[in-house]
Amino acid sequence: MNDRLYSASEGNVPAIAVTGVSKYYGQFPALNNISFEIGAGESAALWGPNGAGKTTIMRCLLGLTKYQGDIAVAGHDPVAAGQQARSAIGYVPQDLPVQPMTVGEMVAFIAKIKRAKLRDSLDRLSLLGIENQVDKEIRALSGGMRQRLALALALIGNPSILLLDEPTASLDAKGRADLLQLLHRLKGQGMTLVFSSHRPEDVLALADRILMLDGGVLSEEQSPGAFKSTLGSQSRLVVFLRNGHRQVALDTLTEIGLAGSGEGKVISVPIRVDQKAEVLSAMARNGVDIEDFDWEQYAWTKQ
């Protein structure tokens, strides 16, 4: 692909401009006076707990719900000029709806409504490595394959903005790595990315800016560096060991400047989001026999 294929807007018009947007469901404020801008070619992550307003913002950007305030997507109002606004967006839902269609039929359908050439649209399948699935029923695809298809469909018609709702949620480790790599490549080609994720690694891998949402309020905007330090010790690695390896494991942690604790075959250690590999490698180097491990995050917002 060319170096820079996507251009979200003409001149200095931001790819997305959200000004004073509020959304109420009855008395419940799903979004409360939110404002932000995302420049062309930027990558922004929407970060926050469930119910923070991430999906509602996406629905507003797509013109799927009414709101108070102003939104411009590539210069177009998603409600008043929805078709033009959505022409600029490729939308990747968390779960692609399963309809009784084959992959090829779905690609042909989306190509028609996006007024794109079928051949070019089918090429998107090759880009995602699923060109051999064209005759398969969508319902027969695995979660990972379905997510790739969702991205392939979103890329039909060359949109300048990709809107992704938890894109890696249903993917295994390899699928996630592949997808992140592809998104990184698209970003490099000038595509604007807006995505929500529950995974800090995804955010750190892709985002230029992180929009921190809580209770429908945009509490803060952060750079990846600030985000990393915000998360700080807000995660914990739990390691399951073979008998007799606990003390060596705890000593290893002390060696790399961490303070772990544990009983029996299990130890737990508060770590930074990006320290998992470092801890596990150090233990392996010192001959700690690891049966399994788990990683959990404590909190979503800045402490």
Options 1, 11, 50, 100; binder of another protein; rule CB under 8 A: 100
What torsion do the CA atoms of 16, 19, 24, 25 make, to the nearest 10 degrees? -10
Cα–Cα nearest to 139, from 173, 106, 172: 106
Query: Cβ closer to another protein: 162 or 239?
Result: 162
Query: Cβ closer to another protein: 105 or 208?
Result: 105
Query: Cβ closer to another protein: 62 or 134?
Result: 62
Q: In whole angstroms, what is the distance from residue 126 CA to residue 149 CA?
A: 10
Task: Choose one: 35-43, 77-85, 260-268, 286-294; the region binding another protein (CB under 8 A).
Answer: 77-85
Angle made by CA atoms 172, 177, 182, in degrees to the nearest 5: 125
Chain centre to alpha carbon of residue 175: 13
Residue type at 110?
I
DSSP letter, residue 263 = E
Q: Counting contacts by CB under 8 A, is residue 30 touching another protein?
A: yes
Options 87, 160, 192, 235; binder of another protein; rule CB under 8 A: 87
Sort 126 into a burial class: Cβ within 10 Å, 0-12 / 13-18 / 19+.
Answer: exposed
- Give the residue carrying structure tokens 């409360």: 32
* Residue 102 dihedral angles phi and psi, to the nearest 5°: -85, 165
Query: Per CB under 8 A, which of residues 249..278 are in contact with another protein?
Result: none
Cα–Cα nearest to 103, from 162, 156, 179, 168: 156
Options 95, 221, 289, 292; binder of another protein; rule CB under 8 A: 95
Q: In whole angstroms, what is the distance from residue 221 CA to residue 267 CA?
A: 35
Q: Counting contacts by CB under 8 A, is residue 86 touching another protein?
A: yes
Q: Shortest gap between Cβ of 66 and another protein (angstroms)? A: 6
How many residues comprise the chain? 303
Options 22, 32, 36, 62; binder of another protein; rule CB under 8 A: 62
Q: Shortest gap between Cβ of 113 and another protein (angstroms)? A: 5
Q: What is the size of the binding site for another protein (CB under 8 A)?
A: 30
Residue 25 CB neighbour total at 10 angstroms: 10
Q: Shortest gap between Cβ of 210 and another protein (angstroms)? A: 24
Task: Choose one: 62-70, 177-185, 225-233, 249-257; the region binding another protein (CB under 8 A).
Answer: 62-70
Query: Cβ closer to another protein: 113 or 173?
Result: 113
Query: Cβ closer to another protein: 114 or 199?
Result: 114
Query: Per CB under 8 A, which of residues 155..214 are in contact with another protein?
Result: 157
Residue 6 CB neighbour total at 10 angstroms: 20
Q: Give the footprint of another protein on this chain (CB under 8 A).
A: 25, 30, 59, 62-66, 82-84, 86-87, 89, 91, 93, 95-97, 99-101, 105, 109-110, 112-115, 157
